[in-house]
Amino acid sequence: MAAKFGHKLLGTFLMFLVLQPFAATSRTLKLASLQIIEQGQHRGCGVPDIIGQPISDDIEGRHGMFRLLDNYKFFNGELKWTNFPVTYGFLPNSRIPSGLDSQAVIDSVTAAFKVWEAAYPKFTFKKIDPGNTANIKIEFTWLYGRYYGFGYAPPNGLLQLDYVHTNWSTGSTPAWNQLDLQSGVMHEIGHTLGLDHSTNHSAVMNDTLIFGTIKRVLAPDDKDGITKLYT
């Protein structure tokens, strides 16, 4: 009887060892690995984003890069476009990631610009092809680490999206392991318009985008920031 009980206890213990790491990994993935971070390399001096945590305002202050206004931030000098329409387009050497339909990608990008266009009466955007003469030049390219995108402030306007390690979605609802393209593009457009990261977690301009979720509607903080910048 004791031996039988011992075997049963041993079996339970082994099952715990097998299942426990999976459960822990699942929790870790949900909190960390299922977040892809975006690095805005602004004017050649980017500050690395921290997974699951906004960039410290104190760090930014010491670098003298940003001026804090409520939850949103501007670039030092309040960089912005002064002439409209602002043009955008894909660079000729940009490659669409495998598995994505090129028209669906264009539709997602167009939809992202339309959301920003509706945010402020002055805004008008025009797509041109090829985009090498556009104000906002878009390209899919290799980005290091786990960064999904880079956005450069005016007058640079370069908008880069990861080509290699990001599993993009152009559908209405991304899968649990996919990053919504329109949401990511909306964030990067915000940088190319002159906004930096917001400490408001519901804002499009927050520094973290989570797999399987969408941020296709500007939060009040996004609208307040862009209105303040362009008024």
Active site residues: 188
Do β-strands 72-75 and 66-69 pair in parallel, antiparallel, or remain unpaired? Answer: antiparallel
Strand ranges, E, within 7-104: 35-37, 66-69, 72-75, 86-90
Quote the CA–CA distance of 205 and 199 in Å, as a whole number: 8
Task: Give whole-number Cα distances, 187 to 5, 87, 115, 177, 184, in Å.
Answer: 58, 17, 11, 19, 5
Quote the CA–CA distance of 101 and 157 in Å, as a whole number: 25
- Which residue type does 5 have? F
Cα 55 to chain centroid distance, Å, stands at: 14
Quote the CA–CA distance of 98 and 34 in Å, as a whole number: 21
**Any residues with CB less than 8 A from the CB of 175 and at least 6 apart, and which?**
169, 212
Quote the CA–CA distance of 67 and 58 in Å, as a whole number: 11
Which of these, 128, 110, 123, lies nearest to 81 by C-alpha position?
123
Quote the CA–CA distance of 230 and 194 in Å, as a whole number: 9
In contact, 136 and 152? CB cutoff 8 Å:
no
